[in-house]
């Protein structure tokens, strides 16, 4: 597949704010009422609504899309996959930078080869991938996940499309899971992560990144893989168990992989905090932990989930691009591509397997 030429960097970016405001005349003039909003604010977008949640209006029309597809392969009508970007990092507790993850992954994905040699097909252009504009990240974690991601994911699922969410920190995931769960009441969640994310709240915030799995567990049972950082507790709701496969014990292929998948219900949402993989695979992430999944062990797990269950949504979160290298965002883009291939090939069967 010929690659597209690199994009012209020609964005008409809004002028950076002036270096420094003019020195104010003097104290005496301070009587004047200060205008409520600075004029600069109105510059480009005339009073855009705070949160755009109309699926149609969020669609990116040009070619700055995930996987660098031709615009006619990315329309909402044609695409089976719809990718949301949530550049949110409001509750991070350690390293920063996950807010820049979605744009970096999108750019990296434009360099990802569209042929998937594991399944032997080009699933991405065949099924179409529709890119949505990034959500508005100037908000709380709850506003992001419940006020934006939840209603948009609902529309994607109701339209018969497959939702994909790119973070941002892990706090973005619950809204997507809730929307998918409402359409698939038997939903279970396959959760790759270094951290169990099972604190009921963190820093008094129930929508913290450290509480993502606790929120999800209010609706769904969970199978966790790669875990190596957690509190001492017995996790999980009695009706919605959380099965934990700790990385220290389960880091090589084995029968445990089939057992883990067997604990999932028929319909599965996959949530991947990239720190579940080893830092050698994803060095750029907010809270790295040594000793995670190898690339191929993670792929084999995901392939098994796709072969044995019906995946109905996924997210990839916590990529924090590192200055001067592209390793993590490229791995994130590649992971998205592999998952799309596995879902097309194994979950959709013949529909995904036809030759063009």
Nearer to Mn ion, 92 or 180 (CB): 92
Minimum CB–partner distance for residue 275 and Mn ion (Å): 4
Q: List C-alpha distances in Å: 99 to 18, 68, 117, 287.
A: 24, 21, 31, 14
Q: Cα–Cα distance between 194 and 287 in angstroms, integer?
A: 9
Nearer to Mn ion, 89 or 275 (CB): 275
- 273 touches Mn ion by CB under 5 A: yes
Would you state the structure tokens that stand for residue 193, as one six-digit string? 């992560």
Minimum CB–partner distance for residue 55 and Mn ion (Å): 29
Minimum CB–partner distance for residue 287 and Mn ion (Å): 6
- 329 touches Mn ion by CB under 5 A: no
Q: Pick out residues in 205-244 that bind Mn ion (CB under 5 A).
A: none
Query: With CB under 5 A as the contact rule, which of the stretches 176-184, 272-280, 300-308, 309-317 interacts with Mn ion?
Result: 272-280
Minimum CB–partner distance for residue 227 and Mn ion (Å): 9
Q: Pick out residues in 22-61 that bind Mn ion (CB under 5 A).
A: none
Q: Work out the widest C-alpha separation in the chain, in whole angstroms.
A: 79
- 315 touches Mn ion by CB under 5 A: no
Would you state the structure tokens that stand for residue 132, as one six-digit string? 């949505």
Q: Put the strands of the sheet holding 240-246 in their side by side order.
A: 129-131, 81-86, 162-167, 310-317, 267-273, 188-192, 222-227, 240-246, 236-237
SS3 assignment, position 223: strand
Nearer to Mn ion, 125 or 279 (CB): 279
Q: Cα–Cα distance between 281 and 303 in angstroms, integer?
A: 18
Would you state the structure tokens that stand for residue 245, as one six-digit string? 């496969």
- 275 touches Mn ion by CB under 5 A: yes
Nearer to Mn ion, 193 or 315 (CB): 193
Select from 127, 195, 243, 304 the one that contacts Mn ion (CB under 5 A).
195
DSSP state of 205: B
* 214 contacts: CB under 8 Å, gap ≥ 6: 197, 198, 199, 200, 201, 206
Q: Which helix (H) or strand (E) holds 255?
A: helix 255-262
Number of residues in contact with Mn ion under rule CB under 5 A? 5
Minimum CB–partner distance for residue 229 and Mn ion (Å): 7
Nearer to Mn ion, 116 or 275 (CB): 275
Minimum CB–partner distance for residue 192 and Mn ion (Å): 9
Nearer to Mn ion, 184 or 207 (CB): 207
Q: Cα–Cα distance between 313 and 80 in angstroms, integer?
A: 12
222, 188 contact by CB (below 8 A): yes
Nearer to Mn ion, 276 or 337 (CB): 276
Query: With CB under 5 A as the contact rule, which of the stretches 1-9, 195-203, 303-311, 320-328 interacts with Mn ion?
Result: 195-203
- 169 touches Mn ion by CB under 5 A: no
Q: Cα–Cα distance between 45 and 19 in angstroms, integer?
A: 22
C-alpha closest to that of 270 among 191, 336, 161: 191
- 345 touches Mn ion by CB under 5 A: no
Query: With CB under 5 A as the contact rule, which of the stretches 142-150, 215-223, 265-273, 345-353 interacts with Mn ion?
Result: 265-273
**CB-CB neighbours of 201 under 10 Å:** 13
- 193 touches Mn ion by CB under 5 A: yes
Which residues here bind Mn ion, judged by CB under 5 A?
A: 193-195, 273, 275
């Amino acid at each position: 597949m010929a690659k597209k030429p690199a994009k012209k960097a020609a964005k008409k970016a809004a002028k950076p704010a002036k270096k420094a405001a003019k020195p104010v005349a003097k104290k005496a003039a301070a009587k004047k009422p200060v205008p409520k909003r600075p004029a600069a604010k109105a510059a480009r977008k005339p009073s855009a609504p705070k949160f755009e949640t109309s699926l149609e209006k969020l669609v990116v029309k040009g070619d700055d899309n995930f996987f660098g597809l031709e615009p006619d392969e990315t329309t909402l009508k044609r695409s089976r996959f719809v990718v949301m970007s949530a550049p949110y990092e409001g509750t991070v507790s350690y390293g920063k930078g996950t807010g820049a993850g979605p744009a970096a992954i999108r750019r990296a994905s434009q360099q990802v080869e569209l042929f998937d040699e594991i399944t032997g097909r080009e699933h991405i252009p065949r099924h179409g991938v529709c890119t949505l504009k990034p959500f508005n990240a100037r908000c709380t974690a709850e506003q992001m996940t419940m006020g934006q991601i939840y209603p948009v994911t609902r529309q994607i699922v109701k339209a018969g499309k497959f939702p994909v969410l790119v973070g941002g920190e892990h706090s973005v995931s619950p809204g997507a899971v809730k929307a998918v769960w409402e359409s698939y009441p038997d939903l279970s969640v396959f959760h790759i992560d270094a951290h169990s994310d099972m604190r009921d709240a963190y820093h008094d915030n129930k929508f913290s990144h450290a509480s993502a799995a606790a929120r999800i567990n209010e609706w769904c049972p969970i199978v966790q893989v790669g875990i190596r950082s957690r509190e001492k507790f017995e996790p999980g709701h009695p009706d919605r168990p959380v099965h934990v496969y700790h990385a220290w014990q389960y880091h090589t292929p084995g029968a445990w992989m089939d057992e883990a998948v067997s604990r999932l219900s028929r319909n599965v949402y996959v949530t991947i905090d990239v720190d579940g993989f080893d830092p050698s695979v994803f060095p750029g992430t907010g809270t790295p932990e040594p000793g995670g999944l190898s690339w191929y062990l993670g792929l084999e797990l995901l392939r098994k989930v796709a072969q044995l269950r019906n995946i109905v949504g996924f997210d990839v979160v916590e990529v924090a691009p590192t200055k001067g290298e592209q390793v993590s965002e490229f791995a994130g883009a590649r992971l998205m591509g592999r998952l799309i291939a596995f879902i097309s090939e194994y979950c959709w069967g013949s529909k995904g397997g036809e030759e063009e």
